[in-house]
Amino acid sequence: MSSALTVIGIGDNGCVGLSSEAVNAVASSQVLAGGERQLDFFPQFTGRRILIKGGFMKALGEIVEASNEENVCVLASGDPMFYGIGSLLIKKVGGENFRVIPQPSSISLAFARIGIKWDDAYLLSLHGRARTGFLTRLQHFKKMAVLTDATNSPAELARYMLEFKQEKWRAWVCENLAGPDERVRQFEDLNDLAACEDISPLNVMVLENKGPDWQPRDSFFSLHEDEFAKRVPKKGLITKKEVRTLSLAEMQLRRDSVIWDIGAASGSIAISAALTAYEGKSFAIEVDEKSLVYCRENVQSFAVDNVEIIAGRAPEVLTDIEDAPDAVFIGGSKGSLREIIEYSLRKLKPGGRLVLNAITMENIQEAYSTFRELDIDFEMAQVAVSRGVTLARYYRYEPLNPIHIFSCTKPEREI
């Protein structure tokens, strides 16, 4: 097979680990591109060399231009199609003039070294990325492999987990895989990993929950309100379980959704949404200082690090949020309900969902009239829930406050 551009995966063991196909591809190319360490594996290569240094984008144009007239080989670490440069190159040159000869990825090598299967593991790259949502993901998966960097090093991540009382994890740190100085270490206690200072920057960290009865928390809709810290005696400042379940269902969340919870109070909606959208982000907007104390406490106790708390009054503080929402929940408005609805509809992504809970007649009327005046198709439902409570040796129903739930989908037209 001939190709204008070939991407070859290469490990720390250099040419020793290459197949005959990869060796022949290098030998028949006129241009060889790669990092300094990778190019050093081929001192016998006499063609033109393109050094990839200080970021791949600087060399990308030269590589693509060379591939128009010459056979080019690009050397990449491990599997170039796994968090590598392969996907970017194929967009530039097209599939017809492109082939990949991969090596085992660092992830597959790490699990091979520690002797654990990885078809059920969650793979997360924190290399050059924010760690937002790292802890939230841990609540869904018993096993995780993490690509780290200097900022999100294994020791720093261990300290971060301990800060949120996530102690029941064992860790393996696999360094310089397939290289002459390869090292694999197991840490049964995260405190030992947190204190470790001699870890190579080229590493993969594998985490596994040690709990024998650990189960993923697949649904967070039905968390009881008593599981959240909240203002007492003002227990009304938290959405009750049944209403929260219905409201979250109306938001139609995906695992990567961005959510605004306006009037978050204790944060039960923002936290439940963040746990459901574990690859997304949730913003809890609240103006009351006392409620903010409980909201922060709940974020800490539920270990949801993809919740960002915004202190202030809506809609004014909403302008500080750069992330356009996929879903907006309005639970409180402090007299600015119409303005909040209008601003939220403008900022929602097309097809995004707005859900509003109203308890007072004034808010019910204002929400209804606002949707009508904006010519928005909406749904409304009154939810009246009664819970069974004991009375001596008998059982009776005790009603909760009835709630009106408004919901709509943002249309394609401008609001």
CA-closest candidate to residue 244, choices 375, 376, 230, 166: 230
Q: What is the pLDDT of residue 84?
A: 83
CA-closest candidate to residue 128, choices 195, 224, 201: 201
Q: What is the pLDDT of residue 1?
A: 42
For tokens 């992830």, the residue is: 107
Ramachandran area for residue 28 (φ above 0: left; ψ -120 to 50: alpha; else beta): alpha
- Where do the DSSP E strands lie in 115-231? 122-125, 143-147, 169-175, 183-187, 203-209
CA distances from 358 to 59, 70, 270, 276 (A): 56, 67, 17, 23
Q: What is the pLDDT of residue 211?
A: 84
CA distances from 119 to 20, 28, 142, 143, 279 (A): 29, 36, 12, 10, 19
Taking only the tens of pLDDT, the chain with its 415 residues reads 445 899 999 988 888 889 999 999 999 999 999 999 899 999 999 999 999 987 788 888 899 889 888 999 999 988 999 888 888 888 888 777 789 999 999 999 999 999 999 999 999 999 989 999 999 999 999 999 999 999 999 999 999 999 999 999 999 999 999 888 999 999 999 999 999 999 999 999 999 999 888 877 655 666 888 788 776 655 556 888 999 999 999 999 999 999 999 999 999 999 999 999 999 999 999 999 999 999 999 999 999 999 999 999 999 999 999 999 999 999 999 999 999 999 999 999 999 999 999 999 999 999 999 999 999 999 999 999 999 999 889 999 999 999 999 999 998 877 6
Q: What is the pLDDT of residue 271?
A: 95
Q: What's the Rg (C-alpha) of the chain?
A: 27
Tell me the two tokens of residue 311. 């202190």
Query: How far apart, in whole angstroms, are the C-alpha atoms of residue 126 and residue 133?
Result: 11
Q: What is the pLDDT of residue 95?
A: 72
Domains of the chain: 5-103 (3.40.1010.10), 107-209 (3.30.950.10), 225-409 (3.40.50.150)
Q: What is the pLDDT of residue 217?
A: 66
Q: What is the pLDDT of residue 179?
A: 86
Contact at 8 Å (CB) between 167 and 190? Answer: yes
Q: What is the pLDDT of residue 413?
A: 75
